[in-house]
């Protein structure tokens, strides 16, 4: 076994030390001031989100800057960005499990939590954008008095099925991974109340080897199901765009382009969460430099696919000879949002290349900064796609643009607040690292050493 693989965990960890340290974070660790600070700040932002969402529901979508012709505006930028962030969690938990990558073990739990929260937040934005959110159930197929059924040829209906399946399967996968760890917490808990709560949630898991056998099989099969699912989800979202005839949307590169962009921004978010988490809870033995190095490599490779997609878009627009496609590109590069287009290119195609350097990949402050900068540029990328395309389509008389209001900002920043608020709660009440998988990894390393 190569020395590189050993360094996934710091040497010297035992079943007992890993179990005790990770479960102590939840059970006995006193609440830290850093955590309180994060919690209060994010809770305050979450209240802003609640306020904005209530206002938009009560008064109307006119509060946001959406208008004809840019009818999708910020809410759709946010949907695409948030669901993309969620995808990295599934990649780590499912695809890397199938590929037998031992480094996934320390980061899969909080990455999966990230997936669920991000996908849930993403799922809210279409409702916010609906205008009459109380009619969302029109998307559901059920026998109703109007004898209406959904239009199965519409990408919006596909989207509804894709996102809700994705959220449900992510929750199942996450909860199944949690069951043995909840049992560990139940067995370590000192107070009656925590014993009851974790005991109830653990469903009476007792670690029987016959149970483990079925558990492992189902876990692998769920990973096998989640893998094509995650690719399908962002592909279906991209079809919302690609199926229309708007120049800038109507493009066959969209499904792989969106999936690669999702991985890029998702891994940025994983790094953004991992760095403070590791520092605050002293998780250095489990989240090592090697994890950051590998995650940076995934970012780089996903980023290269994104750059390729940019190039294909440019080339297709030129090669098609279609004046509207060409006009769309001229508008992106020189139009009212040209600055954003160039920032997007400079960061996602330029700054990203820093990741070729091992020095950058293993320097945590640099990687952390880079992750936040690239993730912001990924939001800008979605802004460029969603907004500059509808801004100027076929008829110059119908051109127009978006003028964002403070409700748009409140919904975006508030959704970030809600996300970190949920992450804070998760960190405090559930084990952030999969305890039984770390034990398994220690066992495998011992076996390979002997």
Partner 1 sequence: MSGRPPLGLLARFTSAEQIVAAAKLVAAQDYRAVDAFSPFPLPELSEALRASAAGVKWCVLIGALVGALGGYLMQWYTAVHAYAFDVGGRPLHSWPAFIIVTFELAVLGGALAGFFGMLALNGLPRLNHPVFAANGFQLASRNQFFLLIESRDRKFDPKRTRELLDSLGAAEIVEVESE
Find out whether 286 and 106 touch, Cβ atoms under 8 Å: yes
Q: For the CB of residue 191, give the shortest distance to partner 1 in the complex, in Å.
A: 15
Q: Give CA–CA dist 302/350, Å, rounded.
A: 14
Q: Give CA–CA dist 331/311, Å, rounded.
A: 16
Is 222 an interacting residue with respect to partner 1 (CB under 8 A)?
yes
Of 137 and 152, CB closest to partner 1: 152
CA angle 366, 370, 376 (to 5 degrees): 155
CA angle 226, 235, 129 (to 5 degrees): 105
Of 404 and 444, CB closest to partner 1: 444
Of 34 and 176, CB closest to partner 1: 176
Is 153 an interacting residue with respect to partner 1 (CB under 8 A)?
yes
Residues 103-142 within binding reach of partner 1 (CB under 8 A) = 141
Q: For the CB of residue 284, give the shortest distance to partner 1 in the complex, in Å.
A: 22
Residues 162-221 within binding reach of partner 1 (CB under 8 A) = 162, 165, 168-169, 172-173, 175-176, 180, 183-184, 186-188, 199-200, 203-218, 221
Whether the bond between 121 and the residue before it is cis, its omega within 30 degrees of 0, is no
Find out whether 417 and 353 touch, Cβ atoms under 8 Å: no
3-state secondary structure of 221: helix
Of 92 and 435, CB closest to partner 1: 435
End-to-end CA distance of the chain: 11
Q: For the CB of residue 303, give the shortest distance to partner 1 in the complex, in Å.
A: 28
How many positions of this chain bind partner 1 (CB under 8 A)?
A: 61
Of the candidates 111, 157, 384, 416, which one interacts with partner 1 according to CB under 8 A?
A: 157
Of 217 and 320, CB closest to partner 1: 217
Residues 229-268 within binding reach of partner 1 (CB under 8 A) = 229, 232, 236
In total, the chain counts a number of residues equal to: 450
DSSP-derived secondary structure for 161-196: HHHHHHHHHHHHHHHHHHHHHHHHHHHH--SHHHHH
Find out whether 56 and 378 touch, Cβ atoms under 8 Å: no
Binding site for partner 1 (CB under 8 A): 14-16, 19-20, 141, 147-153, 157-158, 161-162, 165, 168-169, 172-173, 175-176, 180, 183-184, 186-188, 199-200, 203-218, 221-222, 225-226, 228-229, 232, 236, 436-437, 439-440, 443
């Amino acid at each position: 076994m190569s020395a590189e693989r050993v360094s996934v965990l710091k040497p010297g960890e035992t079943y007992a030390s890993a179990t005790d340290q990770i479960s102590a974070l939840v059970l006995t660790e006193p609440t830290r001031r850093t955590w309180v600070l994060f919690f209060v700040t994010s809770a305050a932002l979450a209240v802003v989100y609640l306020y904005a969402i209530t206002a938009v529901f009560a008064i109307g979508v006119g509060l946001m800057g959406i208008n004809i012709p840019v009818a999708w505006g910020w809410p759709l930028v946010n949907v695409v960005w948030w669901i993309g962030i969620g995808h990295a969690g599934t990649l780590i938990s499912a695809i890397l499990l199938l590929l037998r990558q031992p480094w996934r073990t320390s980061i899969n739990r909080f990455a999966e939590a990230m997936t669920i929260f991000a996908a849930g937040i993403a799922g809210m934005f279409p409702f916010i954008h609906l205008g009459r959110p109380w009619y969302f159930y029109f998307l559901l197929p059920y026998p109703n008095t109007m004898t209406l059924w959904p239009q199965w040829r519409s990408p919006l209906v596909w989207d509804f099925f894709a996102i809700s399946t994705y959220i449900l399967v992510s929750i199942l996968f996450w909860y199944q991974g949690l069951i043995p760890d909840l049992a560990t917490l139940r067995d370590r808990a000192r107070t009656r109340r925590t014993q009851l709560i974790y005991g109830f949630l653990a469903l009476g898991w007792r670690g029987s080897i016959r149970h483990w056998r079925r558990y492992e099989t189902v876990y692998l099969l769920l990973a096998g199901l989640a893998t094509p699912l995650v690719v399908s989800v962002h592909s279906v979202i991209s079809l919302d765009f690609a199926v229309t005839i708007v120049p800038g949307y109507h493009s066959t590169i969209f499904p792989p382009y969106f999936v690669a962009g999702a991985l890029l921004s998702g891994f940025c978010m994983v790094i953004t969460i991992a760095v403070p988490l590791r520092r605050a809870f002293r998780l250095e033995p489990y989240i090592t430099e090697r994890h950051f190095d590998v995650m940076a490599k995934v970012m780089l490779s996903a980023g290269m696919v994104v750059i390729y997609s940019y190039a294909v878009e440019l080339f297709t627009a030129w090669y098609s000879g279609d004046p509207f496609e060409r006009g769309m590109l001229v508008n992106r590069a020189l139009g009212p949002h040209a600055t954003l287009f160039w920032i997007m290119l400079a960061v996602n195609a330029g700054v990203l290349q820093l990741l070729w350097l091992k020095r950058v990949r293993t320097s945590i402050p640099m990687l952390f900064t880079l992750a936040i900068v690239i993730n912001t540029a990924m939001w800008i990328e979605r802004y460029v796609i969603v907004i500059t395309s509808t801004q100027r389509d076929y008829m110059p008389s119908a051109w127009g643009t978006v003028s964002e209001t403070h409700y748009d900002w409140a919904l975006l920043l508030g959704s970030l607040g809600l996300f970190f608020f949920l992450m804070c709660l998760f960190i405090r009440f559930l084990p952030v690292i999969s305890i039984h998988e770390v034990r398994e990894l220690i066992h495998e390393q011992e076996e390979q050493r002997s």
